[in-house]
């Protein structure tokens, strides 16, 4: 009854279901300090949207959730701006390289397989490692086995040259690992349509040594810059941005991210990491099931259909024509619209939740 046609992705989807799913994922994004792409992009693929469209439009959803979640954490003074900018520099470089790799495999007709393999390997490995660590930590705390620890452990990355002082996180660290990790996050983001938070969050906690309270907001702050570039490059070079789809995703994810960010300080860090690890592992195993058994478990029926222009509403026809004739302008307007929706709803929610 509430199905509408998304003309660029060429699918019919129930709008309420789409907004509900994006709201749940946005909630988890705000709660855990991740962009939510490791959930949203696979979900779009499982719903029947071709991966090339899922990556581009999923990226825009991560951008919306990142803007909304970062604003919520900024209001609570829980973002390390300096750390975020340094990592974002590497992220921007990695995003550019990643999009070129994406286009290469797209031309070879292998991008679907590459995306599935990347999700299976990375999500399964990271999810399992985080689950083991977080369960051990929960058991230790419940058994009241408290041990004295340093503020953070020192690894070889802390001994590299070009050190700077980052006052908010109370760190004295080289810029090399920050740019390096940012590059890797940007590379994965552009290839997989994810914000990279599922990798960045444990890196910031366990390797960089940031205070846990600053990690969610800083991760989302970094996601804004990386996902802006990823979304823009995918939209311009691959012409895959569907403005109807990104509006629905943005509305749901922004509302969810605001609520999740509000609750993040009330949930123990060990519990957050356990929830995150389980979610990551589930989605990784689901991609493995797809690869090895050639089957996806669909959540609902999605109809893929190319509708003739004469049968489309007048406004939709205008959107399609504008998309065909001015793809770069169309992409920029779509991304700016996502940011506008995010900022508007974030400020409105701030007033309501206070």
pLDDT score for 264: 66
The answer to whether residue 61 scores a pLDDT higher than 80 is: no
Other Cβ atoms within 10 Å of 3 Cβ, number: 15
Burial class for 103, CB neighbours closer than 10 Å (0-12, 13-18, 19+): middle
List CB contacts of 161: < 8 A, sequence separation 6 or more. Answer: 174, 176
The answer to whether residue 308 scores a pLDDT higher than 70 is: no
pLDDT score for 303: 45
The answer to whether residue 179 scores a pLDDT higher than 50 is: yes
The answer to whether residue 300 scores a pLDDT higher than 50 is: no
pLDDT tens-place string over residues 196-209: 666 787 788 777 87
* H or E element in which residue 281 lies: helix 269-293
pLDDT band at residue 159 using 50, 70 and 90 as cut-offs? confident
pLDDT score for 263: 74
pLDDT score for 183: 92
187 vs 145, residue with greater confidence: 187
List CB contacts of 142: < 8 A, sequence separation 6 or more. Answer: none
Q: What is the mean pLDDT of residues 263-291?
A: 70
Collapsed DSSP state (helix, strand, coil) of residue 3: strand
pLDDT score for 7: 77
pLDDT score for 33: 59
The answer to whether residue 260 scores a pLDDT higher than 80 is: no
Q: What is the mean pLDDT of residues 301-330?
A: 70
Sheet holding 3-6, edge to edge: 3-6, 11-14, 303-304
346 vs 223, residue with greater confidence: 223
Q: Measure the CA–CA gap between 200 and 223, rounded to whole angstroms.
A: 10
Look at 18-27, 199-208, 220-229 and tell me which has the smallest mean pLDDT: 199-208
The answer to whether residue 307 scores a pLDDT higher than 60 is: no
- In the chain, what percentage of residues exceed pLDDT 70? 79
> What average pLDDT does the structure give for the chain?
76
Other Cβ atoms within 10 Å of 121 Cβ, number: 14
pLDDT tens-place string over residues 228-241: 887 777 777 777 78
Q: What is the mean pLDDT of residues 246-265?
A: 78
Q: Measure the CA–CA gap between 105 and 144, rounded to whole angstroms.
A: 51
pLDDT tens-place string over residues 108-134: 777 777 777 877 887 788 778 777 877
pTM above 0.85, yes or no: no
pLDDT score for 142: 72
Q: Measure the CA–CA gap between 219 and 4, rounded to whole angstroms.
A: 34
Q: What is the mean pLDDT of residues 166-186?
A: 85
269 vs 44, residue with greater confidence: 44
């Amino acid at each position: 009854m509430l199905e509408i046609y998304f003309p660029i992705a060429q699918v019919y989807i129930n709008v309420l279901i789409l907004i509900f799913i994006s709201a749940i994922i946005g909630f988890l994004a705000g709660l855990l300090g991740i962009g939510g792409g490791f959930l949203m992009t696979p979900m779009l693929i499982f719903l029947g949207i071709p991966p090339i469209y899922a990556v581009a439009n999923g990226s825009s959803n991560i951008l919306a959730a990142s803007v909304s979640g970062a604003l919520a954490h900024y209001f609570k003074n829980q973002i390390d701006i300096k750390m975020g900018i340094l990592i974002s520099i590497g992220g921007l470089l990695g995003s550019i390289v990643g999009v070129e790799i994406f286009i290469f495999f797209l031309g070879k007709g292998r991008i679907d397989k590459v995306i599935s393999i990347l999700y299976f390997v990375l999500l399964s490995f990271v999810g399992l490692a985080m689950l083991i660590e977080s369960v051990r930590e929960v058991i230790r705390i419940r058994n009241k086995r408290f041990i004295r620890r340093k503020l953070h452990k020192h690894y070889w990355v802390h001994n590299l040259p070009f050190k700077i002082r980052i006052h908010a996180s109370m760190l004295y660290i080289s810029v090399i690992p920050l740019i390096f990790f940012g590059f890797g996050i940007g590379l994965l983001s552009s290839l997989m349509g994810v914000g990279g938070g599922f990798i960045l969050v444990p890196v910031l906690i366990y390797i960089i040594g940031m205070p846990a309270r600053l990690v969610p907001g800083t991760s989302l702050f970094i996601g804004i810059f990386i996902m802006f570039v990823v979304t823009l490059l995918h939209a311009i070079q691959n012409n895959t941005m569907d403005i109807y789809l990104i509006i629905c995703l943005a509305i749901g994810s922004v509302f969810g991210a605001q609520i999740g960010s509000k609750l993040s300080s009330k949930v123990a860090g060990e519990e957050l990491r356990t929830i995150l690890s389980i979610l990551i592992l589930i989605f990784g195993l689901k991609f493995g099931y797809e690869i090895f058994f050639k089957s996806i478990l669909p959540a609902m029926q999605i109809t893929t259909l190319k509708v003739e222009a004469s049968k489309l509403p007048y406004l939709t026809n205008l959107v399609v024509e504008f998309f065909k004739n001015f793809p770069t302008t169309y992409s920029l307007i779509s991304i700016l619209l996502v940011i506008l929706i995010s900022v508007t709803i974030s400020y409105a929610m701030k007033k309501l939740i206070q």
